[in-house]
Structure 1
Amino acid sequence: MLVHPWDAALDDAEWQAWIADGHDFGQLCVNGLPGRPPSVVPTHFTADADELLIHLARPNPVWEAIEHDPDVTFTVIGDYAFIPGPWRAQPGTEPTDGVPTSYYAAVQFTCRAQVVDDPEAKADLLRRQLAHFQPEGDHAPVAAGLPPYGRMLSGIRGLRLTVTEVLAKFKYDDHKPVEHRAGVAGRLTARGQALDVPAARQQARRLERLGPWRS
């Protein structure tokens, strides 16, 4: 993933806060077996210290590839929007001369995968995930040997992804003048399609922290 200086996370706390703010669905990317293309699996995940916790169905075809090569990538993308060319035209030029672009936030984790098959360990992984996704605790106990989850544990495998590197990108035209960035954020809010408003919030947040871009 190409990250220009103006697209980079301002610090680790920025991407960590973005992940914690409900960005808990991504794509697990696994090197393919010899002669096969890479495998990509969309899934929810839970961030736990320096690990990502995942579980997948046992019949998922990705397991053989992970066991062959446990070095994987997990990517989370969000707050994206298409920016039309006229919105980016230079002052004093024809609007049609503007060049369109995409805005988005992305965090890419490089990880070492460990498969979890022990029933008690899988139950612990599920408890950690449910504590994140159902913090109200409105579910039956998750324990090996106890219904309803106990009998289901054999149908899944867990993954602990130890994070070895993080690459974060917030692509919101931060190298452009303040007036331009504020104007685009306003246009996104007014258009209000899909993820326009979250993208505008990200642009406004970065604008407030950065102000005018300084290389």
Structure 2
Amino acid sequence: MLIHPWDAAHEDTEWQDWLAVHDFGQLAVNGRPGEPPYVQPMHFAYDAERGEAVTHLARPNPLWPALEANPDVLLTVVDDYVYVPGPWQAAPEGPSEDGVPTSLYAAVQLRCRAHVVDDPAEKAELLNRQVGHFQPEGGSARVAAGEAPYGRRLSGIRGLRLEVAEVRAKFKYAGKRPTEVQDRIAVELSRRDGPRDGVAREHLLRRRKA
């Protein structure tokens, strides 16, 4: 992923805060010789203090042999994306038809070392961490190995701890454009008011203030 200086995260808390609420991504695992990579869509819980993400997948998932052969993986999340028509990006002094269309988006890529979790007690602890993230208000029974209602189902899954080795974060929101163009994009996003237009506009204005 190409990251220009004007699109880079201003500080670690920017991508960490964004990742805390954008917790559905794709796990890319190197394929076995002669096979393409495996790409698994999934929910995950990122823990900034521990520097890891946790998740679980069904035991029959075909990616396990490839993951065990090469535990270096990439977890990627992309969201808050919008299409920007060319006229919105036209230079202030030029004709609108000369503007170049583009995409605005946020993306975080975590290069990780995957650790497979098969011990029932460790899997239960991992699942409780996930549930605590997605259901902080509670409402579900706590998972415990060998205990109802979930203990007997632990054998059907394998846990994953993704130890983060490198982070690449990008917030592409017209950071290189003149103020007049940024203002025009913000106005047009507000006027169009389509899916994700509002949050893209918030990113643009927030990053300009920073």
* 1:42 counterpart = 2:41: yes
Match of 1:31 in 2: 30
| 2:145–2:151 Cα contact (<8 Å) kept | yes
Deviation, 1:103, is 0.3
Deviation, 1:179, is 2.2
* Separation (CA, whole Å) in 2 of partners of 1:154 and 1:192: 46
Match of 1:53 in 2: 54
Deviation, 1:93, is 2.3
Structure 1: 5+ residue stretches without partners: 210-215
Deviation, 1:60, is 1.0
Q: What do the CA deviations read for 1:8-57 (whole angstroms, capped 9, x no partner)? A: 1111111111112x111111001000000001001011012201101011
* Separation (CA, whole Å) in 2 of partners of 1:201 and 1:85: 20
* Separation (CA, whole Å) in 1 of partners of 2:108 and 2:134: 20
Match of 1:126 in 2: 127
* Separation (CA, whole Å) in 2 of partners of 1:98 and 1:180: 10
Sequence identity (%): 59
Q: Which moved more, 1:32-41 or 1:92-101?
A: 92-101
Q: What do the CA deviations read for 1:55-109 (whole angstroms, capped 9, x no partner)? A: 0111111111100100000001111000000101112322221110000000100
* Separation (CA, whole Å) in 1 of partners of 2:170 and 2:114: 23
* Separation (CA, whole Å) in 2 of partners of 1:200 and 1:16: 20
Match of 1:110 in 2: 111
In the TM superposition, 1:62-211 aligns within 5 A as 62-209=63-210
Give the aligned residue type for 1:25.
F
| 2:92–2:180 Cα contact (<8 Å) kept | no
* Separation (CA, whole Å) in 1 of partners of 2:186 and 2:54: 34
Give the aligned residue type for 1:167.
R
* Separation (CA, whole Å) in 1 of partners of 2:75 and 2:140: 28
Match of 2:4 in 1: 4
Evaluate the alpha carbon distance shift between residue 93 and residue 179 of structure 1 in structure 2; reply closer, same or farther with a 3 A threshold: closer
Structure 2: 5+ residue stretches without partners: none
Q: What do the CA deviations read for 1:115-156 (whole angstroms, capped 9, x no partner)? A: 001110000000000111011111112111112211111111
* Separation (CA, whole Å) in 2 of partners of 1:179 and 1:99: 15
Q: Which moved more, 1:142-151 or 1:91-100?
A: 91-100
Secondary structure in 2 matching 1:110 = strand
Secondary structure in 2 matching 1:6 = helix
In the superposition, the TM-score normalised over structure 1's length comes to: 0.94
Give the aligned residue type for 2:36.
P
Give the aligned residue type for 2:55.
I
In the superposition, the TM-score normalised over structure 2's length comes to: 0.96
Aligned length, in residue pairs: 208
